[in-house]
Amino acid sequence: MLFNRTYGITNGVICGFGTIAILWSSLANCQTLHAGPPSSTMSLPMSGPENATRPTYEHGKLMRFVRSSSNGWANNISITDAVTQKTTSLRFWPAKVQNMTIVAVSYGEDQKLSVSAHTMTPTGPQSYLYTVDQDGTAIQTTPTEDYLATRIVRMADGSTWTLGIAHALQESTSKQYKNYDAFRHYAANGQLLEHLWPRWGDDIDIVTSSTREDGSRVLIAHSKTGMPDKTFGPPFFGPTSGFARPMSLFMVNNGDNVVIYDGVNSKIHLWQSKLKKLTSWKISERLSGMSVNGLALLSNGTILASRTGVSANSNASAGDAHAGLFSLKVLSNSFATWSPVKVEGRGMATTGDFRVLGSDNGKFVYVDAALFPHQAAWGSIESTQP
């Protein structure tokens, strides 16, 4: 096992189990967070690839991509530079590929892209992790075999952290799934450096799938002794599914740290790669009708999320205090909640159209109803003593 569950953060602060401003603050400097007015805006491209994903922001670039495409697509990745506001559309198509589904894209500080894709080749379906130059050329191709990376973040050193799923065993006549490590770290040259976080726990070997008489699917986990260990039902792939709706799972990074939001199980995880520690919190507040639609990790360690929807216990006509911009607030060693962040100059960010796209050092990049689809804006986090 490459990690231990931690309770608290060794090199940082949990402000009396308050708002996370982790890793570089002291307990004496625990502060309340407020979001300042936009310091700048950038124009969003008025046109782009048809059926492209919603934009995300990493390292000065706003990105969109087309998930499924055929060889006839001229362009399938769009990159807009925050400084020049110039949009570049590129065509990424590896050699000998018949058709392709791009699953995830991440832009790194080294000005290269990591791309996870599921492709059809003459020998059958394959999963790959690519390093791609800004002209769309694949300069590194890493076969990931039966493992499909569904969320990825490219690090400053050119390596890539991935969260993903493994396909059913090809040789099996029935649906069998070998237990696997869902969280993996690939070097810039494609070498698998680390793998951890077993999908079904340490003691499980194989999971089999069967269908009940009523048509429902059940999974049976078999321990390493070969005996059935436990039975459970859908979601079939749980939190690591690349086929879950996009707002169920987010992964963002900042330097050597990676944050994962798992909306399926209502958990948030912090991976500190230098310390090789994974810290997990259960989100104590689960609101029916609400979902996270954006996640950002600021340079000071603050974790921000935007939420959308209307909770069951709110008056929709009066606005929903559960929607808008929030920072992670730790309540105990195991539990956390989302604390509203005040956006100066516009009041509380309670509109369901508010969405965080990413972070830019100490600022977050966002769109809302007043900006989208024409502009994105930068918001600053002001620290004031409570």
Report pLDDT digits (tens) over 30-41.
Answer: 333 444 444 578
Are 155 and 262 part of one and the same domain?
A: no
Are 279 and 376 part of one and the same domain?
A: yes
Q: What is the dihedral of CA 148, 149, 150, 152, to 10 degrees?
A: -170
pLDDT confidence of residue 176: 78
Task: Give how far Cα 106 sits from Cα of 68, 116, 269, 295, 304, Å.
Answer: 17, 9, 19, 14, 19
Are 261 and 364 part of one and the same domain?
A: yes
Q: What is the mean pLDDT of residues 24-34?
A: 34
Task: Give how far Cα 83 sits from Cα of 60, 61, 365, Å.
Answer: 7, 9, 14
Are 249 and 368 part of one and the same domain?
A: yes
Q: Is residue 164 part of a domain?
A: yes
Q: Is residue 178 part of a domain?
A: no
Q: Is residue 275 part of a domain?
A: yes
Say what the pTM is: 0.81
Closest CA to 116 of 164, 53, 79: 164
Q: Is residue 206 part of a domain?
A: no
170-179, 276-285, 314-323: the lowest-pLDDT one: 314-323
Going by pLDDT thresholds of 50, 70 and 90, the confidence category of residue 343 is: low
Are 160 and 263 part of one and the same domain?
A: no
Is 1 within 8 Å of 202 (Cβ atoms)? yes
Q: Is residue 286 part of a domain?
A: yes
- Residue 112 is given by DSSP the state -
Averaged confidence pLDDT in the chain = 76
Are 162 and 259 part of one and the same domain?
A: no
Q: Is residue 152 part of a domain?
A: yes
Are 164 and 249 part of one and the same domain?
A: no
How far is it, in rounded angstroms, from Cα 141 to Cα 129? Answer: 6
Q: Which of 140, 169, 198 is the last residue of a domain?
A: 169
Task: Find the CATH number of the domain harbouring 314.
Answer: 2.40.128
- Whole domain around residue 139: which residue ranges? 53-169
Half-sphere exposure of 361 (CA within 13 A, CB side): 2
Total domains in the fold of the chain: 2
Q: Is residue 34 part of a domain?
A: no
Q: Is residue 326 part of a domain?
A: yes
Are 65 and 162 part of one and the same domain?
A: yes
What is the tens place of the pLDDT at every residue in 206-228? 888 777 788 777 778 888 776 66
Going by pLDDT thresholds of 50, 70 and 90, the confidence category of residue 346 is: low
Are 359 and 250 part of one and the same domain?
A: yes
How far is it, in rounded angstroms, from Cα 307 to Cα 354? Answer: 8
Q: What is the mean pLDDT of residues 85-105?
A: 88
pLDDT confidence of residue 345: 60
Q: Which of 169, 199, 217 is the last residue of a domain?
A: 169
Q: Which of 169, 192, 208 is the last residue of a domain?
A: 169
Of 85-89, 306-310, 313-317, the range with the highest mean pLDDT is: 85-89
Are 250 and 164 part of one and the same domain?
A: no
